[in-house]
Amino acid sequence: MSLYEKIANKQERISVVGLGYVGMPLAVAFAKKVDVIGFDLNEKKIELYTSGIDPTNEVGDEVIKHTSVGFTSDETKLKEAKFHVVAVPTPINSDKTPNLAPVEGASTIVGRNLTKGSIVVFESTVYPGVTEDVCIPILEKESGLKCGYDFKVGYSPERINPGDKVHTLEKIIKIVSGIDDESLEEISKVYELVIEAGVHKASSIKVAEAAKVVENSQRDINIAFMNELAMVFDRMGIDTKDVIEAMDTKWNALRFTPGLVGGHCIGVDPYYFIYEAERLGYHSQIILSGRKINDGMGNFVANAIIKKLILANKVVKQSKVVLLGITFKENCPDIRNSKVVDIIKGLNEYGIKPIVVDPCANADEAKSEYDIDLVNLNDIEDADCFVFAVAHSEYVGMEIEQVDKLFSISENREKVIVDVKGILNKEEIEVRGYSYWRL
């Protein structure tokens, strides 16, 4: 009987190592079909899950309450599983080089709890070669087992889009790969238990690793192009959103828009590709240029805010600026690598300490990560400038009367509204005489 058959018959278990925005939804999905162990080093996170609380908002508290996942921070429980999925984050260092410490640490933990006949699948985003050149040697060292004989390894890049309730895990085609044909078939069948859209069998682990970094780098480059246009159009006095709406009438328009590019995927993955390319002697031109443009957008927005304050006859240092949103994307509590923080840093250089409001973000995380105290929107008054930085549902279509009540008592032309995401009705705002700017 194959490992897949044993798992399907609940004779063997799956473990998911790393229960964040990627691992937790995967563990919950598998648990609907088979027995699952959900492991994470963060004991506080495990306590939340076992209490029926979903801090990621990916599946919701009700689902967490009723899932059969065996949540644990005890690594020895991994010995009870034969199919291990590693879904830990792969961030970058301050010098933009890959930080492989989390995936190396996870490999160490899995390795010392690995048993013969197991399969280990890595989902963490890495540059081509990491699974075979970095992870497998760690697994072999810690377990005393031989890869290809005693255990098998595969790679299946995560494709979850945090906060997206349409393109969910089950509806996204899963790229899978294995160290040999046998492992590829086993891995494919296991994922097909939960992936309704089906799987794509990559020809090698390196191909699967490359596919992940390339798909995010492609998006990064396209957004960088739109961001560069936005900066030029701003100098020309042309509204970028008006240009995009006109351009998008053509059937083959790509429909990218300018914006802040943060988070743990698009804002990080290109650096993994750049690192490995440069290690092999090739200096990236397009990808690196795109990254530089996108990394600079927070400061560009901050400067636009300052200009609007000056034109509205505000004393910049004394201006009360309110930032709506700090997460890296809409309707998601994830604040990792948020480029809204770059706006805050830019404003700080002019002596402005903005007030930050975000109904999705965790206040404790914002404080510990960025030393930012989140404020309730209802407590805001006498503001000089509102910056719509993230398109949370609470802000989309927000009535201008709601915003006006939070401003200081002054002429409308002295009230500044900066709309980073272009979610407000420009004509309605300008006809009322507000000082308005959008990216």
Q: For residue range 305-334, what is the model confidence (pLDDT) as tens digits?
A: 999 999 999 999 999 999 999 999 898 888
Q: For residue range 244-276, what is the model confidence (pLDDT) as tens digits?
A: 999 999 999 888 999 999 877 888 889 999 999
Domain 3-202 has CATH 1.20.1440.130: no
Query: C-alpha dihedral over 350, 345, 285, 224, to 10 degrees?
Result: -90
**In contact, 194 and 25? CB cutoff 8 Å:** no
Is 397 buried (19+), middle (13-18) or exposed (0-12) by CB count in 10 A?
Answer: exposed
Residue 216: closest CA among 139, 154, 294, 148:
294
Q: For residue range 44-68, what is the model confidence (pLDDT) as tens digits?
A: 999 999 999 998 888 889 999 999 9
Tell whether the torsion through CA atoms of 36, 40, 45 and 46 is positive or negative: positive
pLDDT at 117: 96
User: Rounded distance, CA 422 to CA 258, Å?
Assistant: 10
Domain 296-439 has CATH 3.40.718.10: no
Residue 348 has pLDDT above 70, yes or no: yes
Kindly report, as residue ranges, where domains of CATH 3.40.50.720 are found in the chain. 3-202, 296-439
Question: Which residue matches tokens 């957008």?
Answer: 297
Segment holding 38, helix H or strand E? strand 36-39
- For residue 203, give the 3-state DSSP assignment: coil
Res. 188 pLDDT band, cuts 50 70 90:
very high
Identify the CATH number of the domain defined by range 204-295. Answer: 1.10.1040.10
pLDDT at 263: 79
Residue 29 has pLDDT above 70, yes or no: yes
Higher pLDDT, 305 or 404: 305
DSSP secondary structure of 122-179:
E-S---TTHIIIIIHHHHHHHH---BTTTEEEEE------TT-SSS-GGGSPEEEEES
Q: How many CA atoms lie within 13 A of 59 on its CB side?
A: 24
Segment holding 27, helix H or strand E? helix 23-31
Residue 365: closest CA among 408, 328, 404, 403:
328
pLDDT at 1: 84
Q: Which of 147, 265, 360, 385 is catalytic?
A: 265
Q: For residue range 192-213, what is the model confidence (pLDDT) as tens digits?
A: 999 999 999 999 999 999 999 9
Q: What is the rounded average pLDDT for all residues in the chain?
A: 93
Report percent pLDDT > 70 for the chain: 99
* Bridge partner residues of 400 (DSSP): none
pLDDT at 164: 66
pLDDT at 406: 87
Which residues fall within 8 angstroms of residue 263, CB to CB, at 6 or more apart?
162, 328, 329, 334, 336, 337, 338
Mean pLDDT within 283-303: 94
Catalytic (active site) residue 265? yes
Res. 167 pLDDT band, cuts 50 70 90:
confident
Kindly report, as residue ranges, where domains of CATH 1.10.1040.10 are found in the chain. 204-295
Question: Which residue matches tokens 């995927």?
Answer: 265
DSSP secondary structure of 271-323:
HHHHHHHHHTT---SHHHHHHHHHHTHHHHHHHHHHHHHHHTT--GGG--EEE
